[in-house]
Amino acid sequence: MDARILDQFRSIIGRGLITEPSQLHTYECDGLTNFRVMPQAVLLPSSTDQVQQIVRVCNREKIPFVARGSGTGLSGGALPAENGIVISLARMNRILEVDLPNARVVVEPGVINAEVTQRVAPHGYFYAPDPSSQSVCSIGGNVAENSGGAHCLKYGFTTTHVLALEVVLADGSLLHLGSRALDRPGYDLPGIFVGSEGTLGIATKIVLRIVKRPEVIQTLLAAFNSTNEAGAAVSEIIAAGMLPAAIEMMDNLSIQAAEASVHAGYPSCGGLLLVELDGPAAEVEHLIKEVGEICTQCGAWEIRVAQSEAERAVVWKGRKAAFAAMGRISPNYIVQDGVIPRTALPKVMSEIDRMSAAEGLRVANVFHAGEGNLHPHVLYDGSIPGQTERAMALSINIPRLCVKCERSVTGDHGVGEEKKMMMSEMFAEPDLETMQLVRCAFDPQHLSNPGKIFPRTRLCAERTGPYQPHALEVAGVAQFF
């Protein structure tokens, strides 16, 4: 990078500037390691003012920038832009305010998800969105990805819990979106920002809603011979009018991986359900029996209810470690993410089995079963010629399958770099066009995380209006993404 520009960055941030190639390697990818780009520099600001100054230089010099939290994203969202810089928010990691009477917490973006609950738990509160990566991922990353977790079935995704945001736009100006009130006049701009994957600007302060801990929490484990039987139980539980805090499912390969890693004591079975109920004691006691009966009717041959907080913690440790634990049973793996209707589970599982057999690769399945959010893990050995390519081909066909089932290419991991080409399979041209216009309103020069989410760049000066197909497309020679 031009020494003149580096000097400008250095004068803003001093020692928080990284340019050493050996150190830059840390930032060349996120949790999706198949995509790598070396950034020109990494900057670690410790205040909103520094973020603004850095972004102003980028704006003046036309340098693309990518915000980065903890780098645990699984869709390449924090992948650096070619010839761009990375702005890491890791040093902006303070909890600024805890307002218990109003159940609000104000944080900087680098605060780790689990730290919010740790701070408010002694007062009987928790922060509900709980991605399995919650011990390391940042609130800024959660906001950008609209992250979810096991307990989002009942409590909602990140977007339900973000009330207001302070945002640095790509020209360096400061914007305040939303308010501490639950309803506010005007457009739902925090709703637009949450899930925008760093393409609308950088969140530098976030007002979160926290939730009172319920009187009782009970967790039930049910072992089935297959994921189809377990899936039928999920449909029956929901059909009975219950809204459990969480319904998670693991197949046999995932159980093997979790057991090898954390020894959660799971039964060895084809499909394992974890159902958590919370609320007033009398209600939970009644409903947990009903859930047990439904599971038995659907073929469960072992039902266990965690008898203590410690037992409950171990049950969840196994589930939350499942992603990382895949390394115990396979040298390499790709985590996929897609949403299907719960009722399509048998059909989709047998199709994934067919694709897995055709490629000769194993697929382990962990689901947020209540939401129909699949997380298939394609297992492979990158040292065997051809396996990486086969794994990538198999992996990308899974979200394609989800679109065919009229749901989504992503549940909670985002589009990022990985799935941008699939957006045109899911959305019609006017839908994508409207999203692009929103993007242009926030960042007309496309400097903030360029090249993500959308299959192609829209120039903000382009005329709006109905899409006119190119002659080659009409002739069936070319495809428009």
**Binding site residues, ligand FAD, CB under 6 A:** 30-31, 66-74, 77-78, 89, 109, 131-133, 137-138, 140-142, 144-145, 147-149, 197-198, 202-203, 323-324, 412-413, 449
In the block, which residue shows the tokens 């470690």?
Answer: 321
Residue whose beta carbon is closest to ligand FAD = 141
Cα–Cα distances in Å, from 412 out to 144, 233, 332, 353, 370? 11, 23, 22, 23, 14
Using alpha carbons, select from 344, 467, 454 the residue that is nearest to residue 406.
344
Shortest Å distance, C-beta 160 to ligand FAD: 13
Q: Closest CB to ligand FAD among 287 and 442?
A: 442
User: Please, which residue, 195 or 299, has the CB nearer to ligand FAD?
Assistant: 195
Residue 83 sits at the vertex; the CA angle it makes with 77 and 86, to the nearest 5 degrees, is: 45
Q: How far is the CB of 76 from ligand FAD (least distance, A)?
A: 8
Question: Which CB atom, from 295 or from 335, has the smaller least distance to ligand FAD?
Answer: 335
Q: What are phi and psi of 48, to 5 degrees?
A: -60, -40
Q: Any idea of the CA torsion for 355, 358, 361, 365, to the nearest 10 degrees?
A: 20
Nearer to ligand FAD, 198 or 299 (CB): 198
Question: How crowded is residue 205: how many other Cβ atoms within 10 Å of its Cβ?
Answer: 21
Q: What is the DSSP string of 128-185?
A: ----TTTTT-BHHHHHHHT---TTHHHH--HHHHEEEEEEE-TTS-EEEEE-SSSS-S
CB of 197 to ligand FAD, least distance (A): 4
The position carrying tokens 């994957």 is 197
What's the min distance (Å) between Cβ of 335 and ligand FAD? 7
**Shortest CB 370 distance to ligand FAD, Å:** 13
Please, what is the minimum distance in Å from the beta carbon of residue 322 to ligand FAD?
A: 8
Which CB sits closer to ligand FAD, 44 or 303?
A: 44
Minimum CB distance to ligand FAD, residue 470 (Å): 31
Nearer to ligand FAD, 64 or 231 (CB): 64
Q: CA-to-CA distance for 406 and 399, rounded, in angstroms?
A: 11
Q: Which is nearer to ligand FAD, 84 or 131 (CB)?
A: 131
Burial 352-376 (b: 16+ CB within 10 A, else e): beebbeebebebbbbbbbbbbbbbb
